[in-house]
């Protein structure tokens, strides 16, 4: 295959081309997570201005939304950190729900003998 300048252009073997196409499809399906500087700062444990500086340093995509707020597209490492924080929050929520269920069960056990006693007296 020749390029416009007459030199032979590099071609990929079929297997490599198929692999490249699969990788491109993977990236198309990868979720994009965009955060404000405040949200990024909360994720990284810093303030909004330091989060802005980090985004610039890491060359992250930045865009101004229709609402006028600048948002930053997370890279792979920050996306993994975000998912880990979501899993952690889900675990904490699951623990809170379990504690509520346990409290409910204990309260039901305490009320059960009183209810039986009141029923016997009414009969």
DSSP strands (E only) in 1-123? 34-36, 62-64, 70-73
Q: From CA 100, how far away is CA 106, in angstroms rounded?
A: 10
Structural element, H or E, at residue 103: helix 76-122
Name the band, by pLDDT with cuts 50, 70 and 90, for residue 84: confident
**Residue 58 pLDDT more than 90?**
yes
Q: What is the pLDDT of residue 2?
A: 41
Cα separation, 53 vs 59, in Å, equals: 10
State the pLDDT at residue 118: 57
Q: Residues 75, 63: contact at Cβ < 8 Å?
A: no
pLDDT at 23: 54
- What is the average pLDDT score of the chain? 77
Coil, helix or strand at residue 71: strand
């Amino acid at each position: 295959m020749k390029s416009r300048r007459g030199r032979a252009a590099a071609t990929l073997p079929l297997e490599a081309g198929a692999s490249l196409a699969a990788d491109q499809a993977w990236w198309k399906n990868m979720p994009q997570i965009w955060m404000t500087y405040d949200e990024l700062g909360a994720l990284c444990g810093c303030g909004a201005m330091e989060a802005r500086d980090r985004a610039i340093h890491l060359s992250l995509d930045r865009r101004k939304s229709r609402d006028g707020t600048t948002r930053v597209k997370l890279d792979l490492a920050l996306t993994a950190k975000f998912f880990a924080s979501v899993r952690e929050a889900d675990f904490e929520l699951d623990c809170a729900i379990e504690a509520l269920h346990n409290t409910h069960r204990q309260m039901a056990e305490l009320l059960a003998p009183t209810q039986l006693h009141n029923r016997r007296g009414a009969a």
